[in-house]
Structures are given as C-alpha cells and as structure tokens.
Amino acid sequence: MKKTIAIIMAAVMLCLLAGAYAEGQGETAEDWCSDLTQAVTDALAAAEENGETDREAMIAGLAESLPADAEKIRTLVDIYAAIISGESAADPETVLPAYRYTGEDPVEGAIANALAGSEYMEMYLTEPGCVCIPCPVILRTEMTDETHAKVYGIFWTLNYIQVDDILLNISGGEHAGIAKLEKEGEAWRVTELEETGEGEEYEADIRRFANGDQQLIKAYQAGSDLSEEPQMSIRKRFIREYAEENNLKVNAFMDPYWDPIPLE
C-alpha cells in the first residue's frame, strides 16, 4: 500500500515540479508534465520488468527527461525514487531528531506531543530519516472541570525529510475532532481523540461536534486548508521552533505541488 501511494505521489510531484521549472524557463508546463509523466511511467515499468528496484535503476530511467541544470529537481527525483524503491531517501548525516514541543501552552503541547508520538504518524508514508512535526489548529477549548478539558480543533500530522535547507513534506493528513485532556499534577495529557469519519460522515460529525454552533462549524471548515490563516502561521511556528530547538539550518518548507515557503 505504501509503495502504491509513493508511486502516485512521486509521479504527480515530479510532473508538477517539472512544470514549475518549465514555466520559469519560458516553456510549456503542460508539455513538461506530459513528457515527465510518460518518463516516470516508463521508468517504473522498465524497472519492474527487469526486476530492478534499486535507486540507480530508477534514476537512470528518468535522467534523460531532466534539464542538466535542474539540480533541485534532480535531488527530489532521487528522493522519491528511493521511496518508490523501498530504500531510505534520507542521508544518514541528516536524519532528523524526534519532535518535542518547546512552546509555552501546556494544552497545545500535550496535543502536539501526542500527535507526533502516536500511530497517526505511521498512518502515512514515512522514511527512516523523517520527523513528524504536528500542526494542531485549536478552535476552542472548554474546561469541564479544573482537571479536564475538551479541545475542538483540526489536528494535522505532517512528516518531513530535509533537503538542503528545506523541510520537504512527504506525507501527512488532517484529523478534525475533539481532543479530551486530563491534568495530572502540572502536566496535561491527551486521553482520547475523537475524530470525524470520512466522506459524508465528515460533515455530519462536524455538525455533531459543534452541536448547532454555526461559528464553530465554519471554523472547522476553514481550518481544513493549510494555506490559509491561522493554519499557515501555526505551521510555520511549529517548524521554526523545531528547527531552532535542534539547531537545524532550515529556512523553508515545501509541500508537493507547491514552491518552498520561507519560515520568515
């Protein structure tokens, strides 16, 4: 399953990266996408037919489709080819340290640490050198008593590897729901995360969580887009604090289909 997801992700991402490069060179992005789609398909088919699964075989099938000076694209091709072939794409010297919340909000911190250390990270494509940096978008917090809280939010788990000074997002997902927390001494911990179902159940569960509160329903709907505020600022803050805590030279992050986003 992970290999299938990786193949689809690699093909789409490589095409769009190439399209972005082509536009910068004054060429037709559609032609680039079409050509590279075929190149990826042919390379995968040839490697499978020949029983080749190593990174070099994958790269050999794609090399002719890339401009000689597109080093960034070549680097990303290398990474995604490694993922497809089942190898590690991470440089052993740049294996990222585990995430640990370093902010000042104890409730936010409890949720962030729970997300980064839970099974949610393993739901998506991972790499030996990757790290899960969460992005908890807290919409509302209700105290049920002095030691128990309900936090309404959209809780993102996002897995990254490092390429030069960029954290490259290789997988991740959204978990809209309600986190239930309990205070033990001075520390909070997540005891349960009730999240929405999929498809038609998603909207139904959002309305059930909001219990008729239209403002909260709209907040849930708006929070599902990471490119909008306040999601973007929250994500930048979590990545920036992680990089600073671990003395990493990281100036931007990058999602499939998009250009790198500076942290400042």
pLDDT score of 49: 67
**Residue of 125, 134, 103 lying closest to 235 (CA atoms):** 134
pLDDT score of 222: 92
Residues 72 and 155 in one domain: no
- Which tokens sit at 58? 């994958």
pLDDT score of 14: 53
pLDDT score of 1: 38
Residue 10 lies in a domain: yes
Residue 74 lies in a domain: yes
Q: How many CA atoms lie less than 13 Å away from 175 in the CB half-sphere? A: 26
Residue 28 lies in a domain: yes
Residue 215: CB atoms within 10 Å = 9
Cα 143 from Cα 73, distance rounded (Å): 49
Residue 98 lies in a domain: no
Residues 66 and 139 in one domain: no
- Identify whether the C-beta of residue 144 lies closer than 8 Å to the C-beta of residue 191: no
The CA-atom distances, in angstroms, between 43 and each of 8, 10, 12, 53, 66 are: 13, 12, 14, 11, 13
Residues 167 and 196 in one domain: yes
Residues 181 and 256 in one domain: yes
- Which tokens sit at 257? 């289909």
**Residue of 173, 77, 71 lying closest to 122 (CA atoms):** 173
pLDDT score of 243: 97
Residue 101 lies in a domain: no
CA 78, distance to chain mean position in Å, is: 19
Residues 148 and 248 in one domain: yes
pLDDT score of 72: 54
Residue 27 lies in a domain: yes
Q: What share of the chain is helix, strand, coil (3-state, %, to 5)?
A: 45, 25, 30
Cα 87 from Cα 55, distance rounded (Å): 7
DSSP code, position 100: -
Residue 99 lies in a domain: no
Tens-level pLDDT at each residue, the chain (264 residues): 344 334 444 554 555 455 444 444 555 545 554 555 566 566 666 666 666 555 555 555 555 555 544 555 555 556 555 555 555 555 555 689 999 999 999 999 999 999 998 776 667 767 777 899 999 999 999 999 999 999 999 999 999 988 888 898 988 889 999 999 999 998 999 999 999 998 889 999 999 999 999 999 999 999 889 999 999 999 999 999 999 999 999 999 988 767 789 998
Q: What is the DSSP string of 174-194?
A: EEEEEEEEEEETTEEEEEEEE
pTM: 0.70
Residues 238 and 198 in one domain: yes
Residues 146 and 192 in one domain: yes
CA 66, distance to chain mean position in Å, is: 26
Q: Beta partners for 167?
A: 162, 253
The domain of 35 spans 2-87
How many domains are contained in the chain?
Answer: 2
Which of 27, 54, 87 represents a domain boundary (last residue)? 87
Which of 87, 120, 153 represents a domain boundary (last residue)? 87
Residues 206 and 119 in one domain: yes
Cα 83 from Cα 185, distance rounded (Å): 43
Residues 208 and 170 in one domain: yes
Residues 45 and 145 in one domain: no
- Identify whether the C-beta of residue 202 lies closer than 8 Å to the C-beta of residue 210: no
Dihedral pair phi/psi, residue 81, rounded to 5°: -65, -40
Residues 179 and 114 in one domain: yes
Residue 186 lies in a domain: yes
